[in-house]
A = this chain, B = another copy of it.
Amino acid sequence: MAKKVVLAYSGGLDTSVAIQWLIDQGYEVVACCLDVGEGKDLDFVKKKALEVGAIESYMIDAKDEFAEEYALISLQAHTWYEQKYPLVSALSRPLISKKLVEVAEQTGAVAVAHGCTGKGNDQVRFEVSIKALNPDLEVLAPVREWAWSREEEIEYAKSKNIPLPISLDSPFSIDQNLWGRANECGILEDPWATPPEEAYELTVSLENAPDTADIIEIEFEQGVPVAIDGVSYKLADLILKLNEVAGKHGVGRIDHVENRLVGIKSREVYEIPGAHTLLLAHKELEDITLVKEIAHYKPVIEKKLTELIYEGLWFSPLRTALEAFLKETQKFVNGTVRVKLFKGHAIVEGRKSPNSLYDEKLATYTKDDEFDHASAVGFIELWGLPTKVNSMVNKGEKKVQA
């Protein structure tokens, strides 16, 4: 009896070819495709997998799980990788890996396969995640292994009667989920070139953005966005809704030259209309609800969590520990943020919270002021004491040295 392999199947050329290639290696192929919010026609993908040779084909709607356990972490932890983009593919890879492993365990497969090449981050994320979840499963990377040129791959596909996609000449390589859309390749490889308009899909250009703003109110409970303009949504739907509303105003385009885990720099463009809006709104709500010590330390945790996820270590126990910190900080992040969507901007114009630590009576310069100005004198004296003593002791020498 042939060994089974579960393949992460997208419906595209690479993974369709991979089905046949794996069959060539003596495997029975179980195709598995997830919907994490990219708007796939799962039915079509399911059938195509079977048509090109898979013996079983699983389609999984993982939008809610992705929103609530992966995108939400990105939102609450402000996971701006290199201060530029809040992770897109890095968030979905561990979830896809988890589902692949589950399907493998259910179907008695001995291996799991993904369609990544050898120079991206995703191969690392898939393989480390799969090994963490089930170290006994073998991991195969057909595309990395066959190492064909584009022409050789098409040749092979034709020889196996694998249907070629219409957009064979698309210069772009896309990955999308409800948190955003990533696009690399082609013209983008020259970092001096302006990204062409066709590189974008979720957002309109600034030139085409409407001349009238939309102003929305987003409500949060314990750091989770739960409603827009008083209408409740489950998280996946809320993000998709914002992708639409903010995308219409051209919000959330990013053009980034980033450092990959595998040691090279690459240039990609991202579109994150919903994520951008939520990240800004959430931060502003934190600005009034987090105590100063947390506000100043949380970014340290955020940076580590961002890098850990980017680097494929979602299933490291360190992620769990960082998340424990994160969740503890969200308990009082309740309230409403008013956002103006206009000309590519998501401008927070107002924020309010039952847990607001902004105290108008302390902050005011009016006669309602309750702040004790005299306290400042003693504070400054002790705050500056080390610097002052240092000057008294070393000032002369500094002059000599300078």
State the A residues within 8 Å of B (CB): 78, 82-84, 117-119, 123-124, 127-128, 131-135, 144, 147, 149, 173, 184-185, 189-195, 206, 209, 255-259, 261-267, 283-284, 287-288, 291-297, 299-301, 303-304, 307-308, 311-313, 315-318, 320-322, 324-325, 327-329, 331-332, 338, 342-345, 347-352, 355-360, 362-367, 369, 371-394, 397, 401
Given A327-B324, A377-B375, A382-B291 contact (CB < 8 Å): no
B376/A382 in contact, CB under 8 A: yes
Residues in chain B near residue A118, CB distance under 8 A: 371-377
Residues in chain B near residue A256, CB distance under 8 A: 287
Question: A297-B304, A297-B318 given. 5 additional CB < 8 A pairs?
Answer: A82-B295, A82-B296, A131-B387, A322-B325, A377-B378
Q: Which of A144, A322, A338 has the most CB of B within 10 A?
A: A322
A384/B296 in contact, CB under 8 A: no
Given A387-B315, A391-B135, A128-B380 contact (CB < 8 Å): yes
B383/A124 in contact, CB under 8 A: yes
A293 to B320, CA, bound (A): 12
A126 to B59, CA, bound (A): 48
Question: Nearest Cβ in chain B — how far from A119, in angstroms?
Answer: 5
Q: Which of A78, A387, A401 has the most CB of B within 10 A?
A: A387
A296 to B364, CA, bound (A): 34
Residues in chain B near residue A293, CB distance under 8 A: 308, 313, 316-318, 386-387
Given A308-B293, A373-B119, A388-B131, A265-B357 contact (CB < 8 Å): yes
Residues in chain B near residue A185, CB distance under 8 A: 365
Given A262-B379, A283-B83, A384-B132, A321-B316 contact (CB < 8 Å): no
Residues in chain B near residue A328, CB distance under 8 A: 317, 320-321, 324
Residues in chain B near residue A364, CB distance under 8 A: 189
Q: Which of A347, A356, A380 has the most CB of B within 10 A?
A: A380
A317/B291 in contact, CB under 8 A: yes
Question: Nearest Cβ in chain B — how far from A327, in angstroms?
Answer: 7
Of B266, B294, B318, B378, which one neighbours A291 at CB under 8 angstroms? B318
Of B135, B358, B376, which one neighbours A123 at CB under 8 angstroms? B376
Q: Which of A267, A288, A359, A393 has the most CB of B within 10 A?
A: A393
B144/A373 in contact, CB under 8 A: yes
A359 to B300, CA, bound (A): 30
Given A380-B128, A385-B263, A194-B349 contact (CB < 8 Å): yes
Nearest 9 A/B pairs, CB to CB: A118-B373, A378-B378, A263-B385, A128-B384, A375-B378, A321-B328, A192-B350, A375-B381, A259-B292
Question: Nearest Cβ in chain B — how far from A352, in angstroms?
Answer: 5
Q: Which of A149, A259, A291, A351 has the most CB of B within 10 A?
A: A291
Residues in chain B near residue A375, CB distance under 8 A: 118, 262, 377-379, 381-382
Given A118-B376, A206-B345, A262-B379, A390-B316 contact (CB < 8 Å): yes
A313 to B386, CA, bound (A): 10
